[in-house]
Amino acid sequence: MGHASDLEKKSFHNILKVTGLIGGTKVINVIINMAKTKILAVLLGPFGIGLEGLLLSTTNLMSTFTGLGLNFSAVREIAIANGTRNPEIVSKTILILRRWMWFTGIIGMLALIVLAKQLSFYSFGNFNYVNHIRILSITLLFGAISGGQSALLQGLRRIKDMAKSSITGVITGFIISITLYLIWGIDAIVPVILLNSLAILYRTWWYSRKVRIVKVVLSLKETFFGGISMLKLGLYKMGVGFIGKGTNYLIMVYLAKSTNIHATGFFKASWVLAAIYLNFVLDAMSKDFYPKLSAVQNNFHLINKMVNEQAVVALLLGGPIIVIMLTFTDFIIVLLYSSDFLEMSSLLSILVFATIFKLVSWPLGYVLIAKGNGPLFLISEIIWQFSFLIFFYLTFDNLGLISAGISYLIAFIVNIIFLHFTLKYLIKFKWDNNVIKHFTFFFICTIIVFFGSILLAKLNSYMLGSFFISLSLFYSYIELNKLIDIKNIL
């Protein structure tokens, strides 16, 4: 690949600028969460981490079902309304969103209260956690309102406010969690979840209140029918979210019942670690790429260009991180959790290896959402989750915990094949040669380091991994320099 043209440089510069802002925020978040995770691992242990995970999975599942996907579909509606440059249209869209989020939040809260007994029995095999679940029901109302406020910021592409909100949120969460867990230990799980939810509500309100809207009057009838347009895509998003959280929930419950709640803790901890270090790349896609893509939903040529550019940046920034994590998996586990969690080392390695496919599949998925093609978006998620769940159940008896990692890898391969051919048919999508080149390079690096960590002695695997870390960092620097002239920026 030669040096990019001035127009391409500007495009890549904008992508990297947003990724850098969100990424910088995520770096701060990761550092704080590293300290938080380490402390919680010591204070709660695998049992406490597993208990927290099951309670969160239970409430998140209900929240996804009753939320109707509005916090996601509203981003698209607000982005489209904002594109009209008409303050009245934007204000009406915002008012409709706020009213609907209150409604869905109240419905979710009441549903969780009513179904608390059944959820406690299915999740834990007893009724010991009925009151825990009922107390946490208020978080569904808090979450719905804060989700609407976040959608408002994202749809208007207020990236700086989103970054500030994220940083203040992680700091507040750290203070609340550590303080209460130090005082009450495992008994603080419910108060921590409750107070963190309230803190998120406050910070999203603080930044969304800055959005200036004109005064508009909407009847309940107008509010209802205005929300229907959001529901069209939102219901599909709800289905996607419900299936995703449902799959995660079923696996955690299966692990708790088939083995013990410690295995659930290992699964949750691995799941979080495999994603947290790539979130700065993937968050940029959801926070900026998605509303930007929605604004050009009918321009196939521009969509192709934007998807390929996003994939290039994702690979060049995320590739070296994957190599680093594969090299130092055990060290990262002990650093962030404790030696008690080393049992999840193999699972984490496979999950991390699979994320190379995640980097290129995510931009594809956002095309379906931006175009408002809910049915295909739902089908793609069903294929992913069904593949994940089926392979997990088929292989768990023979492979144990690592079956979750292998199933995760297979599901992403199946998903990316489906998305590629679907978009090839819909918008004549084609991968750019640079994406293929970068993916091939990082795939070779990761697969060598992955098998090296399994087959070689620790010292030798660290040496091999360190070589490929250096190689991947050098490669990314050279390729990024072709796109934005890093030397001139520095």
Does residue 454 lie within any of the structural domains? yes
Output DSSP code: residue 435. H
Does residue 1 lie within any of the structural domains? no
Domain ranges, residue 156: 6-489
Query: How would you write the pLDDT of the chain (490 residues) with one tens digit per residue?
Result: 455 555 566 666 666 666 666 666 767 777 777 777 777 777 777 778 778 878 887 888 788 778 777 777 778 788 778 777 788 888 888 888 888 889 989 998 999 999 999 888 887 778 888 898 999 999 999 988 988 888 888 888 787 788 788 788 878 888 888 888 888 888 888 898 899 888 888 888 888 887 777 788 888 888 888 778 777 767 777 777 778 777 878 888 888 777 777 778 788 888 878 877 676 667 765 667 777 777 777 788 888 888 898 888 889 988 999 999 999 988 888 887 778 788 888 888 999 999 899 888 888 888 887 777 778 888 888 898 889 999 998 988 888 888 988 999 999 999 999 999 998 988 888 998 999 999 999 999 999 999 998 888 888 999 999 999 999 999 998 888 887 766 555 4
Output DSSP code: residue 288. I
DSSP 229-287: HHHHHHHHHHHHHHHHHHHHHHHHHHHHHHT-HHHHHHHHHHHHHHHHTTHHHHHHIII
Does residue 251 lie within any of the structural domains? yes
Does residue 296 lie within any of the structural domains? yes
Whole-angstrom Cα distance, residue 86 to residue 328?
A: 52
Does residue 158 lie within any of the structural domains? yes
Does residue 289 lie within any of the structural domains? yes
Whole-angstrom Cα distance, residue 216 to residue 9?
A: 42
Tokens 């660290």 belong to 462
Please provide residue 456's backbone torsions phi and psi, each rounded to the nearest 5 degrees.
-100, 160
**What six digits make up the tokens of 381?**
């998620």
Domain count, the chain: 1
Does residue 485 lie within any of the structural domains? yes
Q: At what angle do helices 345-370 and 433-455 cross, to 10 degrees?
A: 160
Tokens 């029901």 belong to 137
Query: What pTM value is reported for the model?
Result: 0.70
Does residue 160 lie within any of the structural domains? yes
Nearest to 352 by CA among 398, 318, 314: 318
